[in-house]
Amino acid sequence: MSKKQALQAFNQELHISHSQIFTYLNCSLKWAFQHYMGLPIERLSIALPFGSAIHAAIELYYRSLKNRGQAEPLKAICDRFETCLELDLDNTTVPIIYKKNTPDKESAIEMGKAMLKAFYDSVNLDGIEIVDVELPLSATLFTDDGKATDFKLVGILDLVLRDENGEIIVVDNKTAARPMAQSTADDDNQMTTYSYLLAANKYVFPTAPVNCRFDILRKLKTPKLEQVSTIRTAEQRRRFAKIANAVLAGIDAGIFMPQPSWMCGDCAYSDACKAW
């Protein structure tokens, strides 16, 4: 596969997502194993299917509210979670890496259901309109001096809301054991990607700041929902586009190297990395 093919979508458009940018910035070699060389994964951290299953359950909650004006009962949300997780785990042929707080499949299911109950009991949409759920957007990536590149920035936004003042709020649903620091929320590139996509697709005025919120379901003995708000300005979007272009230049130049960090513990390519 060529480096360009690694960045082509089904419709043959060159594209890059926040997830690819995140992976490249944290370990360019991992990006190459996954997207350029297309290596099969060697192991799977439970955090990935667990997070996807929670996402699918929360998506069901918001979609039913948006489409029918009524939320699914908690049991239906929990059933969606359990089905998604079981399907993912049953279809995996590689070893699963379980965690201290979810040491096996049963405890992961129990934890997920307790987290969804905390979500269900705490979520508050008073005065809020659901604009869209799992909204796929794309936008041309521009260079720092305002020239259009051949690349699209793509992303799927978990949730877009409108508050009682008519302001858009973009929400990213996360699961985490630890609380999110305000500085982490303020620096997170995923929200900047969302903000770039919303501004480029006219959900907000091109130079307007975008209200962003992380809804974090904490993996605790007694799970809870925490919300951390932040904003993204047009200047942050400009800087992010510069980062995205630098990542594309690194990929084009074939700059791939290991970057050991705490993320290595969960890396799906650690054998390939050792052999590199």
Q: Which residues bind ligand SF4 (CB under 6 A)?
A: 27, 29-30, 258-260, 263-264, 267, 269-270, 273
DSSP category for residue 33? I
Q: Report yes or no: 197 and 142 within 8 Å, Cβ to Cβ.
A: no
Residue type, 40: P
User: In degrees rounded to 5, what are phi and psi of residue 16?
Assistant: -145, 145
User: Residue 81 in contact with residue 54, Cβ under 8 Å?
Assistant: yes
Contact status, residue 255 vs residue 28, Cβ threshold 8 Å: yes
Query: Minimum distance between the CB of residue 31 and ligand SF4, rounded to whole angstroms?
Result: 9
CA distance 253 to 112: 42
Question: Amino acid identity, residue 249?
Answer: A
Q: Of 3 and 117, which has the nearer Cβ to ligand SF4?
A: 3
Residue 166 or 260 having the CB closest to ligand SF4: 260
Indicate the residue among 229 and 259 with the shorter CB distance to ligand SF4.
Answer: 259
> What is the closest distance, in whole angstroms, from the C-beta atom of residue 242 to ligand SF4 in the complex?
24
Please state the closest distance from residue 276 (CB atom) to ligand SF4, in A: 8
**What minimum distance in Å lies between the beta carbon of 195 and ligand SF4?**
27
Least Cβ distance, residue 45 to ligand SF4 (angstroms): 12
- Classify the C-alpha dihedral 95-99-103-106 as positive or negative: negative
Which CB sits closer to ligand SF4, 29 or 54? 29
Q: Least distance (Å) from ligand SF4 to the CB of residue 94?
A: 15
Measured CA to CA in angstroms, residue 39 lies from 43, 62, 213, 263, 266 at distances of 12, 35, 34, 18, 16
Q: Which residue in 263, 228, 273 sits closest to 47, CA to CA?
A: 263
Q: How far is the CB of 22 from ligand SF4 (least distance, A)?
A: 12
Query: String of b and e for 232-249 (b: at least 16 CB within 10 Å)?
Result: bebebbeebbeebbebbe
Pick the closer one to ligand SF4 by CB: 34 or 102. Answer: 34
Q: Which is nearer to ligand SF4, 36 or 194 (CB)?
A: 36
Closer residue to ligand SF4 in complex, CB, 127/260: 260
Looking up tokens 């006219």 gives 202
In the complex with ligand SF4, the residue whose CB is nearer, 37 or 264, is: 264
Shortest reach from residue 27's CB to ligand SF4, in Å? 3
Residue carrying the six token digits 């594209």:
15
30 and 166 in contact (C-beta within 8 Å)?
Answer: no
